Chains A and B, each alone.
Chain A
């Protein structure tokens, strides 16, 4: 079954430092991978997706993610974190039934 895993419940970084939120996937065939962000008391917002093409995908708010087939990873990155990036981040994959499966989420805290 198609699935994603987010190995870290919590990631803490200082403002201005680069951030990485990890995601690994387990799929058969070509993966359709996504990142969503959830701010407090809000619904999820689409950040970026990988369907095919360049392994480095650029998304909203300066985020990017790198698709790495050999490591089955799709880590979310940002060169310089902002306090306002503090939120819950979800990696997701579309499975064979064409529904989206989310990871457990990673809480990112950016400290001033």
Chain B
């Protein structure tokens, strides 16, 4: 069974659209995260959720909003997509001492 799974794997969409990326973990972790990996492979943390509470919010545009319906899920909603949002988005869970990552969602905004 996949420990951290995110869908879709690929997402191609037009500028201005609203899209969501789903993430689920079956590891029983309390904390989940979203990371953005840009074209230069640089990873930046976007959000983390601990027991439904947002505890990190880096300088991310408010077009991005994480939604956690329960401890096992942390979905990423993106409104009014822009070209610069094109990247690979990774979900992760666990404690900072050891993170488990999903396989990534490659978002392409046209």
Contacts and interface: CB of A to CB of B under 8 A. Distances in A.
Contacts of B99: 36, 44, 46, 100
B102 interface: yes
Interface residues of A, number: 22
Interface stretch (A21-29, A68-76, A77-85, A91-99): A91-99
A90 B97 contact: no
Interface string A3-34: 00000000000000000000000000000100
Interface residues of B, number: 20
A44 B101 contact: yes
Given A94-B96, A97-B56, A98-B96, A41 B41 contact: no
Interface string B67-104: 00000000000000000000000101000111111111
30 contacts: A32-B96, A41-B103, A42-B103, A42-B104, A43-B90, A43-B92, A43-B103, A43-B104, A44-B43, A44-B90, A44-B92, A45-B101, A46-B98, A46-B99, A46-B100, A49-B98, A51-B97, A88-B41, A90-B43, A94-B97, A99-B48, A99-B56, A99-B96, A100-B45, A102-B42, A102-B43, A102-B44, A104-B42, A105-B41, A105-B43
Interface of B: 4, 40-45, 48, 56, 90, 92, 96-104
Interface of A: 32, 36, 41-46, 49, 51, 88, 90, 94, 97-102, 104-105, 107
